[in-house]
Amino acid sequence: MSDVLPVIESVQGFSVAGVHAGLKKDNRLDFALIVSDRPCSAAGVFTTNYVKAAPVLLDMERLAADPAHIRAVAVNTGCANACTGQRGLDNAIEMARLTAARLGVLETQVLVLSTGVIGTHLPMDAIERGADYAAAQLGTDQWEAAANAIMTTDTRPKMAFTEVTLSSGQTCRIAGISKGAGMIAPNMATMLAVIVTDAGLTPEQAHGALTMAAQVSLNRITVDGDMSTNDTALLLANGASGVVIESPDDLRTFQKALTTVSTKLAKDIVRDGEGATKFIAISVHGAPDDADARKIADAIATSPLVKTAFYGGDANWGRILAAAGRAGVPLDPSRLTLLIAPREDVADLSGDALTLVRGGVPTAYSEEHATAIFKGATIFILLTCGQGDGWATVWTCDLSHDYVSINGHYRS
């Protein structure tokens, strides 16, 4: 597997476009198409919010009915088409129909994604323009335009690309785009992602691979602890490279590459969190089991007190332990160890890593050193519980004044 790149080269059989249809002001791109020249095996993972947007309901239904013949994904921004009743569902269907007519495919072969304000109806004249313009501008080199077109409060596009070498020596490609900056919480987040590959997968393989990848990437991020009505991640596999994933070894290789791509997209979302100034990795080790470790990590990552301390560069580690203690997991404080480091993973804890707490009480650490780490742009937190083999890592960001400003005036 090659390194994951932040720009996308062509993926065989796929063409894309990003255009301005009039959903956003100032001529910003607001409608995207991702199209395969042949049927794809497709899979999706969706928000676990009980209030689901019309496009989520439609895509879930279409993937359940026929996941082996998907040809396109149409994405609009500016309007979530959520809490819009039957009219909203009818508009989602019409969005797919308009797109299918311009591509010469069946309406049931088109999936739709929407993001934006909840409770407003899709402006169908703009959707029709988007379908017209995007179909006319499809190209293999338009990934950045497509990534820009799906943004809402994002400040930059999010892309990931890698090439995978299988046991036969053959290669295939995986590429993805995502959006999201606020209303981000574990169990999908306001997050959209479309990942494509020119490898051949069965629908069952696609579903299994995407579910496994999302569980350790897209479902491990939080910006503000809120969960959207529209969260969707899709995987489309068209087999245009001639590579068919068959052997267990090749499936494992593909899975690793897909997870790396989705992890890059997930981390990009956190780095671009609304008002964020810091990227923070929180790893919990030694919990009773993995599920308990995840609960503890999530409690820390979503704590407003913890997140504002990070924003202020205040090494107030007591907030971290307090959040861990309210996660609903029985903990023995006398076994807790807390370490911080100016990096994003656990690969190397030598050098400037700093242990703040050991045995549940503070060490004789340097306050100046701790403050310097908290003031940095990238921070790693390791909480060791000493009560089992469970572990989990989540990624989050700080909570700043700008987050309040962005969301206090979102509709205006």
Angle at 124 between CA 121 and CA 129, to 5 degrees: 140
**pLDDT tens digits, 354-370:** 999 999 999 999 999 99
CA separation for the pair 146, 271 (Å, rounded): 20
Dihedral, 222, 224, 229, 233 alpha carbons, nearest 10: -20
**Cβ partners under 8 Å of residue 211, min gap 6:** 43, 45
Residue 8: Cβ-neighbour burial (10 angstroms; 0-12, 13-18, 19+): buried
378 belongs to the catalytic site: no
Mean pLDDT value across residues 326-341: 96
**Cβ partners under 8 Å of residue 192, min gap 6:** 75, 113, 115, 150, 178, 179, 180, 230, 231, 232, 233
Which CA distances in Å does 16 have to 74, 129, 176, 316, 399?
Answer: 10, 16, 12, 47, 35
Q: Residue 283: what pLDDT?
A: 96
Mean pLDDT value across residues 37-51: 95
Dihedral, 369, 370, 373, 375 alpha carbons, nearest 10: -110
Mean pLDDT value across residues 263-278: 87
Express as a percent the part of the chain with pLDDT over 70: 92
The domains of the chain, with CATH numbers, are 14-271 (3.60.70.12), 279-408 (3.10.20.340)
Mean pLDDT value across residues 53-60: 97
**Cβ partners under 8 Å of residue 50, min gap 6:** none
CA dihedral sign of residues 58, 59, 65, 66 = positive
Residue 331 has pLDDT above 60, yes or no: yes
List the beta bridge partners of residue 221.
395
CB 41, CB 203: distance < 8 Å: yes
Helix (H/G/I), strand (E/B), else coil: 134: helix
Residue in 153, 190, 229, 396 annotated catalytic: 190
CA separation for the pair 273, 292 (Å, rounded): 26
**Cβ partners under 8 Å of residue 374, min gap 6:** 309, 310, 313, 314, 315, 340
Range with lowest mean pLDDT among 72-76, 120-124, 220-224, 388-392: 220-224
Higher pLDDT among residues 343 and 225, named by residue: 343
Mean pLDDT value across residues 217-241: 88
Residue 307 has pLDDT above 60, yes or no: yes
Mean pLDDT value across residues 93-99: 98
Mean pLDDT value across residues 16-44: 96
What backbone phi and psi angles, to 5 degrees, belong to 396? Answer: -145, -175
- The DSSP secondary structure of 10-52, one letter per residue, reads --TTEEEEEE--SSSSTT---EEEEEEEEEEEEEEEE---SS-
CA separation for the pair 243, 286 (Å, rounded): 41
Q: Residue 21: what pLDDT?
A: 97
What backbone phi and psi angles, to 5 degrees, belong to 83? Answer: 60, 45
* Average pLDDT value over all residues in the chain: 92
Mean pLDDT value across residues 55-81: 97
What percentage of the chain's residues is helix, strand, coil (to nearest 5)?
35, 25, 40
Q: Which of 169, 263, 165 lies closest to 214, judged by CA?
A: 263
Which CA distances in Å does 14 have to 21, 38, 232, 243?
Answer: 22, 9, 20, 15
Question: Which pLDDT band holds residue 412 (cuts at 50, 70, 90)?
Answer: very low
CB 190, CB 180: distance < 8 Å: yes
Q: Report DSSP state, residue 5.
A: B
CB 215, CB 188: distance < 8 Å: no
What ranges in 164-303 are assigned the alpha helix state H? 203-215, 248-271, 290-301
Q: Residue 131: what pLDDT?
A: 98
Residue 331: Cβ-neighbour burial (10 angstroms; 0-12, 13-18, 19+): buried
Q: Residue 257: what pLDDT?
A: 98
Higher pLDDT among residues 371 and 153, named by residue: 371
Range with lowest mean pLDDT among 12-16, 182-186, 249-253, 391-395: 182-186
Mean pLDDT value across residues 386-394: 96
Residue 202 has pLDDT above 60, yes or no: yes
Question: Which pLDDT band holds residue 180 (cuts at 50, 70, 90)?
Answer: confident
The structure's pTM equals: 0.93
Q: Residue 184: what pLDDT?
A: 47
Which CA distances in Å does 299 have to 289, 295, 341, 390?
Answer: 16, 6, 20, 16
Q: Residue 28: what pLDDT?
A: 94
| Tokens 């997209």 found at | 265
| Tokens 């000493």 found at | 386
